[in-house]
Amino acid sequence: AQKVTQAQTEISVVEKEDVTLDCVYETRDTTYYLFWYKQPPSGELVFLIRRNSFDEQNEISGRYSWNFQKSTSSFNFTITASQVVDSAVYFCALDRGSTLGRLYFGRGTQLTVWP
């Protein structure tokens, strides 16, 4: 069975603080894909990153960085120098390589950045 766990339901930080959102996944597949999506208060789902299971390189995009560790089945997301505009719900998701198309979402982490 596929499962994505985001243990942090809510996180609050003050602007300019760094914050890490945790994601732990379960799958027996050897090929799979991991995603992060952002859902701002307006409600849309914004794609942030896709990572393939065979590529464990960490990725940095501006203030965002992702740490993928297969040994611990984790795909954590760090925002450096957080800003008020980062306030949103962030979802981690898993897609099985064998049946490309079905995303298994975690329950999301509500991030609030205070000025």
Interaction site with other proteins (CB under 8 A)? 35, 37, 43-45, 47-50, 52, 91, 93, 99-103, 105-108
Q: How would DSSP label each residue in 6-36?
A: ---SEEEEETT--EEE--EEE---SSEEEEE
Nearer to other proteins, 1 or 71 (CB): 1
Handedness of CA 37, 40, 45, 46 (dihedral sign): negative
81 or 100: whose CB is closer to other proteins?
A: 100
Q: Least distance (Å) from other proteins to the CB of residue 23?
A: 14
**What is the smallest separation between the CB atom of 115 and other proteins, expressed in angstroms?**
27
Minimum CB distance to other proteins smaller for 28 or for 44: 44
Give the separation between CA 31 and CA 54, rounded to whole angstroms: 7
